[in-house]
């Protein structure tokens, strides 16, 4: 689908900002290389400039990325080899998108780790409690929960889990030690205190002492408590293992992103660190400039043989260049007359190419005149320019060659070769496009007008949706709905006979017109404010003006054809008159007059199709969706070839 779109609307080549740090000894040599390559538009780099701020932001991004993949890598239990390919997008864009995805994984893994730590800490406490119960059970086989936790008027029993130092202090304040067990670096014990001593103890309990809670086991025997603790320990450990399995799955699905991020960051980090310090170094020169995205790869490859550190970053308000397939490049002249595409919009050159060739060939629908344009472009036009080999003139010639060739092809369909003089040679019973039938040509022009106006607003709708402009999108929907229902309503209301409009179709069309007008009026007010409450009327009426503007195709085509037929009538009379005196003289004079008169017609008629095709392309098509607020990149390059002085 995108390839079809690019055949109609291409994407401009948006420039990226190049930052190049090079030892001063190589600065001149590299500058000369960039001049020869002719792909860099220089930017003056000043302290505190946006470029340096962007570099600092990029460096911070890389620091964050290092922390992310470092943390996640430490959680991967089994090492995996991942094949990493060079990203199609810029490295920074790739890092930014990867950081967003890896941050989500990082958050999920961190959350799982916190739950695992909580489960393991709980299992450790439960294991200490179970060991303490087992110790008590060995001393008091028939004992119960009161040996673990009891509060009386003259005695308090509590179970604690404390560090060795804290436990010694607790033990010194206790009346008796019922049981104690070593649990790693801590001690679990059941201690008996006087109520006064326990009250003092409760106020001093800190991070080194943890009271074990046995209240839920009240009334149970030590055997029952030990059994329940063993079951609970098993549950907690199984839960921890399930969380670890979940973490492994999360990391497994993200391992490729982690590996790619690590690869990109490790290759970029040192480069950026050097660039960051280069701007303030007296031994290093920093060169910055705009480079078309399509040329970045080849440029970095050429710079790879130099002791230079280079990076490309996306900048604000970048310049653009055309990025069209070869057949469309000459027609970039037409687009340039309106302006350069902005970085966020499509380049309409392919669409304008089709449109311009179609309009021109219909207006100049004659085999002889088409061939005449080709010959004049090849042999006559270069005489009127100072430098026939200049890029602009070469592109113009290619446009005219295409126009002439297509005009000759449409001339075959219209059965016209210098009008009807040689048109009989075309092996068609009747012309497919009759340029001598004014009404059929007007009808065809109006249909073309409706089609191209509808197509232009469709592109405008697609652009508004792409840029998420809600009210602009509603406006374009309203205009399209009007163009669907409007022709049937106009036909029925004004009694036009070019087609029948049934009652049911008329009713539906009326509803479409009402909906379309409502959408246009509402969105116009939202876009421009109160003044839109009456401006919408001009837009609605303007649809008819846009469509009728294409009638110029019929006017110029018929005018050229009628003039050719008028000249043919003059030739016929002149040849007949002189043939009475001498047949050879009549034929010779007829050939000379034919060349003179049809050359005159070609000279009179050729400019109009070009100018009016341009007008339709620029003002009836481009103006509907093409903002043309971009700036074309101007690389500094060495001029090679002819120079006019």
Instruction: Give the domain ranges of the chain.
Output: 2-106+260-320, 118-240, 326-468+549-624
The pLDDT, as a whole number, for residue 47 is: 52
The pLDDT, as a whole number, for residue 66 is: 86
Percent of the chain exceeding pLDDT 70 equals 89
Contact assessment for residue 644 and residue 386, using Cβ atoms and an 8 Å cutoff: yes
| Distance of alpha carbon 629 from alpha carbon 339, whole angstroms | 7
Q: Which two tokens stand for residue 176?
A: 């008796």
Ranges of residues in the chain with a pLDDT under 50 are: 639-645
* pTM, entire model: 0.67
| Distance of alpha carbon 369 from alpha carbon 407, whole angstroms | 8
Rounded to the nearest angstrom, the gap between the alpha carbon of residue 305 and the centroid of all alpha carbons in its chain is 32
| Distance of alpha carbon 167 from alpha carbon 158, whole angstroms | 13
Give the DSSP letter of residue 328. G
Single out the residue of 407, 306, 281 nearest to residue 30, CA to CA.
Answer: 306
Q: Which two tokens stand for residue 273?
A: 């660190």
The pLDDT, as a whole number, for residue 278 is: 57
Contact assessment for residue 626 and residue 357, using Cβ atoms and an 8 Å cutoff: no
| Distance of alpha carbon 326 from alpha carbon 376, whole angstroms | 24
| Distance of alpha carbon 566 from alpha carbon 437, whole angstroms | 15
Exposure of 228 in the CB half-sphere (CA atoms within 13 A): 12
The pLDDT, as a whole number, for residue 80 is: 66
The pLDDT, as a whole number, for residue 645 is: 41
| Distance of alpha carbon 504 from alpha carbon 613, whole angstroms | 38
Instruction: List Cβ neighbours of 609 (8 Å cut-off, separation of 6 or more).
Output: 359, 360, 363, 364, 403, 556
Give the DSSP letter of residue 599. H
Torsion of CA 385, 386, 387, 388, to 10 degrees: 30
The pLDDT, as a whole number, for residue 586 is: 62
Write phi, then psi, for 221 (nearest 5 degrees).
-80, 165
Contact assessment for residue 253 and residue 12, using Cβ atoms and an 8 Å cutoff: no
CA distances from 213 to 163, 191, 231, 418 (A): 17, 14, 17, 108
* 3 state SS of 453: helix
The pLDDT, as a whole number, for residue 643 is: 42
Q: At what angle do helices 438-466 and 470-493 cross, to 10 degrees?
A: 160
Q: Which two tokens stand for residue 13?
A: 């080549």
Instruction: List Cβ neighbours of 259 (8 Å cut-off, separation of 6 or more).
Output: 80, 82, 84
3-state helix, strand, coil in the chain (%, to 5): 65, 10, 25
Strand partners, 285: 22
| Distance of alpha carbon 407 from alpha carbon 103, whole angstroms | 60
| Distance of alpha carbon 364 from alpha carbon 369, whole angstroms | 7
| Distance of alpha carbon 10 from alpha carbon 601, whole angstroms | 37
């Amino acid at each position: 689908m995108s390839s079809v779109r690019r055949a109609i609307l291409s994407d401009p080549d948006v420039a990226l900002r190049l930052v190049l740090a090079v030892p001063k000894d190589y600065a001149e040599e590299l500058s000369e290389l960039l001049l020869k390559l002719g792909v860099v538009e220089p930017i003056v780099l000043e302290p505190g400039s946006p470029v340096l701020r962007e570099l600092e932001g990029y460096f911070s991004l890389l620091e964050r990325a290092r922390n992310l993949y470092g943390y996640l890598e430490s959680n991967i239990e089994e090492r995996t080899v991942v094949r990493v390919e060079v990203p199609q997008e810029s490295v920074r864009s790739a890092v930014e998108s990867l950081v967003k995805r890896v941050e989500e994984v990082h958050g999920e893994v961190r959350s799982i780790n916190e739950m695992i730590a909580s489960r393991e800490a709980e299992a450790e406490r439960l294991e200490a409690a179970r060991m303490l119960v087992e110790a008590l059970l060995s001393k008091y086989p028939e004992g119960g929960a009161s040996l673990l936790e009891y509060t009386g008027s003259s005695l308090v029993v509590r179970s604690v889990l404390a560090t060795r130092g804290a436990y010694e202090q607790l033990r010194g304040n206790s009346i008796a030690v019922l049981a104690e067990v070593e649990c790693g670096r801590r001690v679990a014990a059941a201690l008996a205190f006087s109520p006064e001593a326990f009250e003092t103890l409760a106020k001093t309990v800190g991070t080194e002492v943890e009271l074990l809670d046995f209240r839920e086991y009240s009334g149970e025997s030590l055997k029952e408590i030990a059994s329940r603790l063993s079951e609970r320990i098993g549950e907690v450990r199984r839960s921890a293992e399930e969380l670890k399995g979940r973490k492994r799955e999360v990391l497994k699905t993200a391992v490729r992103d982690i590996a790619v991020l690590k690869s990109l960051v490790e290759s970029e980090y040192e480069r950026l660190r050097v660039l960051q310090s280069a701007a303030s170094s007296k031994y290093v020169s920093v060169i910055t400039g705009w480079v078309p995205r399509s040329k970045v790869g080849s440029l970095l490859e050429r710079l790879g043989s130099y002791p230079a550190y280079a990076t490309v970053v996306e900048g604000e308000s970048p310049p653009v260049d055309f990025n069209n397939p070869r057949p469309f490049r000459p027609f970039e002249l037409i687009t340039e007359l309106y302006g350069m595409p902005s970085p966020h919009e499509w380049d309409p050159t392919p669409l304008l190419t089709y449109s311009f060739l179609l309009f021109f060939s219909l207006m100049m629908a004659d085999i002889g005149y088409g061939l005449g344009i080709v010959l004049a472009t090849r042999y006559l036009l270069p005489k009127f320019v100072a430098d026939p080999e200049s890029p602009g003139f070469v592109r113009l010639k290619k446009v005219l060659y295409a126009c002439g060739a297509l005009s000759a092809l449409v001339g075959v369909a219209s059965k016209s070769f210098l009008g009807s003089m040689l048109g009989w040679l075309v092996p068609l019973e009747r012309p497919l496009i009759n340029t001598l039938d004014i009404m059929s040509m007007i009808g065809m022009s109006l249909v073309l007008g409706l089609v191209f106006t509808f197509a232009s607003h469709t592109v405008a709708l697609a652009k508004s949706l792409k840029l998420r402009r809600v009210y602009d999108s509603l406006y374009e929907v309203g205009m399209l709905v009007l163009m669907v229902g409007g022709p049937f309503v106009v036909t029925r209301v004004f009694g036009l006979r070019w087609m029948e409009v049934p009652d049911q179709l008329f009713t539906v069309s009326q509803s479409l017109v009402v909906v379309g007008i409502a959408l246009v009026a509402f969105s116009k007010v939202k876009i421009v404010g109160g003044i839109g409450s009456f401006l919408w009327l001009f837009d609605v009426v303007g649809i008819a003006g846009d469509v009728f503007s294409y009638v110029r195709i019929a006017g110029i085509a018929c005018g050229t054809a009628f003039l050719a037929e008028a000249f043919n009538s003059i030739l016929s009379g002149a040849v007949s008159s002189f043939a009475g005196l001498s047949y050879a003289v009549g034929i010779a004079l007829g050939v000379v007059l034919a060349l003179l008169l049809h050359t005159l017609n070609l000279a009179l008629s050729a400019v109009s199709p070009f100018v009016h095709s341009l007008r339709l392309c620029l003002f009836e098509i481009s103006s509907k969706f093409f903002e043309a607020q971009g700036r074309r990149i101007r690389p500094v390059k060495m001029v090679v070839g002819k120079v006019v002085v």
